[in-house]
Structure 1
Amino acid sequence: MNRRIVVISLETWDGVWRRNQYLVDGLLASDDDTEVLFVEPPTDPLYDVVNARVPRRGRGLRVGGYGGRLTLYQPTKALPRLAGPAADALLVRSVRRAVKKLGWTSGVLWVNDPRAAALLEVIGWPVLYDVTDDWVLADRGNREHARIVAGDGLLLERSEAVVVCSPALATTKGSIRDVHLIPNAVDVARYRIDRPRPADLPSGPVALYVGTLHEDRLDVDLVMRTAEAAHAVGGTVVLLGPNALSARNRERLAAQQGLVVLGPRHRDDVPGFLRHANVLLVAHVVTEFTESLDPIKLYEYLAVGRPIVSTPVAGFRDVTGVTVVSADDFPETVANDLVEWRQSGDHVVVPDWGDRVAAFSEVVDSVARERVSPGVGA
C-alpha cells in the first residue's frame, strides 16, 4: 500500500530548497511506495493588482517528478484575507478538490503553515505538524498574528505528532505537548566538491550572506555598516537569496557602496558561492523569533569550512570555530577577516539530510498508523 502525504508548505517548490523540499526529496528517493502532494502558497491576483503587478493565477495541479510520485499544487486566492473565514473556506475547498482529483482517500496531512489549520476538519487525516519557525513570535499585524496564534494552538492540540527543528522550539512547544526534535542538516558531499568561482561573484575579497532576505531575520542597518567597512578594505558584502525585504530597505541596500544583492540562485549553484567566499556572514537581529530558528545556513556554512562571523543568535553562538560578536563589533571583525584572508578551515562533522529523513520517516509512519476519520473520501 502506498504511503501518501499531503504537505501544506510555506514555500513554493522551486530551485531554492528549504527544509520541506529536502525532507520530501529524501522520502521519495528512499521509498518507491511514497507519493506526495506538495501544496504551495496560493497566488493572490487581487494583491498583485493593488501593488501594480500583473495578476497571476495559481499553476494548479502539475507533475513534479520522481516518476510521477510528486504532484505540485498551487491554488489561487479568490478572496483577500480580510474576507476572513470565507477566504479560508475557498482555499480549503480547493485543496480538498486537488486531493480528490488524485483519488486519494487516506494518508498523512503534513502541515508547515499554521494558517492552514482549517484543513484538519476537512481532510480528516492524521496530522503531522512540522514547526520550522515560531511564527507566533514574528512581528505581524494584529489580525494576522491572531490567526497564526489560533492555528498554531489548534495544530498543537489536534495533531497526532509535532516535529520541531530547534532546541528552543522543543522547549516552548514541548511545554504544551510531546514533540519530536529533528533539526536541519545539509547535503554534505555536495558542498565539499571543488567548483569554479561563479561569474557573478564580485572580484576581490567577499563577505557572503546566504538566505532569504527578510526583516524578521536580517539586520539591514548592520549589513549596510558592514558593507561600508568591507569597502574600506577593498572588499564586498554579497547577499544571495530570495529578497522579501520592504521596498524601502531594498532601495537602501541598492544604494549602498560595497554591497551587491544577487538574488536567489538554484540550490546546485549555492555551494560554489560559499566555497569562493572569504567570510560567511550571519548578520541577524537577536529576537525571540530568531531564538526559535535552526538556520539551514549553519550547516551549509560549516560544510564548506570557511570563516564564519555571526551575531549572537541561536545555533551559531554555540558552535566552536564561529566568531560570535555583538552588532557593534561585527563590521570591524568582518573587515579584519577580509584583510587577513585564510584558506578553508578543517572540515568538521556536519549532520546530513539523510539522517534527518530517516528520523522524519519514522514519525510519518507512526502518524499514518493512527485512525483515519471520514474526510476527503467520505
Structure 2
Amino acid sequence: MIEGKNIICISQTTWHGEFTKSTVQLLSLLAEKNTIVFVEYPFTVKDVVMSLLGKQRAQVSRMLGFKKRIVEEKTDDGAIVKHLVMPPVLPVDFIKNESIFQKFFSINVFIYKNQLRKIIKKLKLNNPIIITAYNPMYGLPMIGKLNEYLNVYYCYDGMDTQRHKSRIYSIEQQFCKQVDGIITTSDYLNAEKHKLNAQSYVVKNGVDFKLFEPHAKKNVSSPSAQKKVGYIGTLDFRFDIDIMEYVIQELPQVLFEFTGYLLNQNIKERLSKYDNVAFFKSVKAHEVPELLSKYDLGIIPYKMDEVNKNIYPLKINEYLAVGVPVVMTAFANLTDFKAMVKSAENKILFKSYIEHELKHDNDLLIKERIEFAKLNSWESRVVEFGDFLEKIIENKYSF
C-alpha cells in the first residue's frame, strides 16, 4: 500500500453526489496514509448563473471565493480529504473553430493552473503525484506545470463527444502518450490504452462491502410474492430501451423498478405507461444497499455498442453484495463474472434469463454471490491501485 505521498486528483466529477464514484472510493482509502487533494469538476460561469437561478447545484459561494475554496472532508473511516473548488471557468466546449476555442480555453487553463499552484504552495505539497481522473481536457495542459513527481491517468470509461465534442479524442490520445502511466477499470479499456502507453494497468471497480453486508439477503422471497426486478443507476444514453420494453411486455407479472438520475427522458416516456413499471428519483449512496436487498433480481440493460464495451459497471458488485442474481446485456466482455452473472446477446435471451433466475434462485446461490462480491471490496482494489502507482514510479525512476 502506497503511503506518505502528496496526491492531487484532477477530477471530472464532484466529490458528493447521488451515486457511488470509483474515484471517491479509492481516494477515500488512499487518504488514510497519504495527503489527498480532490479537485472538484471545473464548473463554468454558466453553471454559476444557472445555480443562482435554482436550476443547478454548484457551490457558488466557494467558487467565487466568498467561502473557503478548500475545505476538509471526512471519509467514512475518519480520514481527511482536502476538497478544492475551482474558480468558475469560461464555457468553451460549444466553440467549433479550433483556433478560437484554444484562445478561450487557454484562459481556463491559466485559472486552473494558478489555483492549483497556490494550493500546492499553501499546503506545501512537494513533489505531488497527479492523478487525472477521466479529465484529459485539464490533465494534458497541467503536465510538467505543477512540479509533479508522477503523472497518472485514471480512466474509468471510454471518451464520448457529449461534453467536449470530437476534439476530446485527440486530446486524450496525446494525454495517454505523455503521462507516466495509466490505470483503467476494464480489460477492454486497458487494451486500448496500452497501445498508447506501455505503462497501462487494470484496477477493476469494487464495492463498499462493509456498507452492503448488513443488508445482504438471507433467503429468497416467498414463492407467492410478486417478483421485483430492479435497476439502480443513471438512466442515460447507455440504457437499451428497446430490450427493456420487450421484457416488460413479455413479463407482465413481474414488477420492474428503476431508480436513478433521469438523463434520457425517452426511457420514462416509453416505459412508464406499463402497469408493472415504477420510476423513482435517485437515492443517496448509503441508501442503496437496503433498496437493493428488496429486489429479487438486478438488471443492467445497456446497449451493446462501441461506447459500452469500455464499461465495468459499479452496480454489478453491488447487486451481488446483497445476494441478488444479476442479468445484463452482453455490452462488455466481463469474464470475471462469467460463472456468476447471466449475459444476454439479445432480447429473447434477456427475458428468458430473468425468468430462469427468478424461478431457480435459492439460499445457497445468495450466499455464493455475497462471498464473491466480498473478494471485490474497495479495500482490496486500493491495494492494487497503490501497487501500480509504485510500479509506475519504479519504472520512471529506475534509470
When the two structures are superposed, what TM-score results if normalisation uses the length of structure 2? 0.77
Contact 2:216 2:321 in 1 (8 A): no
Contact 2:213 2:321 in 1 (8 A): yes
1:56–1:213 Cα change, 3 Å: closer
Deviations 1:271-329 (A, max 9, x none): 11222211110111111221122112222222222122111132556511322223321
Matched, 1:271 2:321: no
Q: CA deviation at 1:105?
A: 4.4
- 2:115 aligned partner: 98
Task: Tell me whether 157-166 or 100-109 shows the greater mean CA deviation.
Answer: 100-109
- 2:249 aligned partner: 228
- 1:161 aligned partner: 181
- 1:65 aligned partner: 74
Secondary structure class of the residue paired with 2:315: helix
2:309 is aligned, of 268, 282, 291, to 291
In 1: Cα distance, 2:25 partner to 2:272 partner: 32
Contact 1:8 1:40 in 2 (8 A): yes
Contact 2:247 2:347 in 1 (8 A): no
Q: Which amino acid aligns with 1:120?
A: I
Secondary structure class of the residue paired with 1:310: strand
In 2: Cα distance, 1:165 partner to 1:272 partner: 26
Q: CA deviation at 1:128?
A: 0.5
When the two structures are superposed, what TM-score results if normalisation uses the length of structure 1? 0.81
Aligned length: 355
| Within-5 A mapping of 1:79-228 | 79-83=91-95, 84-99=101-116, 100-101=118-119, 102-103=122-123, 104-112=125-133, 113-116=135-138, 117-125=140-148, 126-135=150-159, 138=160, 140=162, 144-146=165-167, 148-178=168-198, 179-194=200-215, 204-215=226-237, 217-228=238-249
1:320–1:50 Cα change, 3 Å: same
Structure 1: tracts of 5 or more residues without a match: 197-202, 372-378
Q: CA deviation at 1:121?
A: 4.6
1:160–1:316 Cα change, 3 Å: closer
1:45–1:249 Cα change, 3 Å: farther
In 1: Cα distance, 2:56 partner to 2:6 partner: 33
Matched, 1:240 2:259: yes
Secondary structure class of the residue paired with 2:327: strand
- 1:13 aligned partner: 15
In 2: Cα distance, 1:340 partner to 1:87 partner: 59
In 2: Cα distance, 1:53 partner to 1:221 partner: 34
Q: Which amino acid aligns with 1:243?
A: L
Contact 2:344 2:353 in 1 (8 A): no
Q: CA deviation at 1:152?
A: 1.3
Q: CA deviation at 1:159?
A: 0.7
Contact 1:226 1:334 in 2 (8 A): no
In 2: Cα distance, 1:24 partner to 1:168 partner: 23
Q: Which has the higher contact order (CA 8 A, sep 6+)?
A: 1
- 1:374 aligned partner: none
- 1:46 aligned partner: 46
1:50–1:273 Cα change, 3 Å: closer
- 1:325 aligned partner: 344
1:252–1:242 Cα change, 3 Å: same
Deviations 1:156-191 (A, max 9, x none): 111111111111122211123221121122133432
Secondary structure class of the residue paired with 1:271: helix
Deviations 1:84-129 (A, max 9, x none): 2244334333333433134334301101212222222533422111
In 1: Cα distance, 2:326 partner to 2:246 partner: 17
Q: CA deviation at 1:264?
A: 2.2
Contact 1:43 1:56 in 2 (8 A): no
Deviations 1:240-288 (A, max 9, x none): 233332x444444454542222232222221112222111101111112
Matched, 1:356 2:390: no
Structure 2: tracts of 5 or more residues without a match: 64-68, 96-100, 218-224
- Taking only aligned residues, the RMSD between alpha carbons, in angstroms, comes to 3.2
In 2: Cα distance, 1:292 partner to 1:248 partner: 24
Contact 1:212 1:243 in 2 (8 A): yes
Matched, 1:24 2:27: yes
Q: CA deviation at 1:42?
A: 2.6
Contact 1:81 1:87 in 2 (8 A): no
In 2: Cα distance, 1:313 partner to 1:110 partner: 28
Deviations 1:325-359 (A, max 9, x none): 23321563366358637445232433221121112
Secondary structure class of the residue paired with 1:333: helix
Contact 1:310 1:316 in 2 (8 A): no
Deviations 1:193-216 (A, max 9, x none): 2369xxxxxx9421111222221x
1:71–1:309 Cα change, 3 Å: same
Contact 1:132 1:165 in 2 (8 A): yes
1:225–1:43 Cα change, 3 Å: farther
Deviations 1:226-245 (A, max 9, x none): 33334x11x32112233332
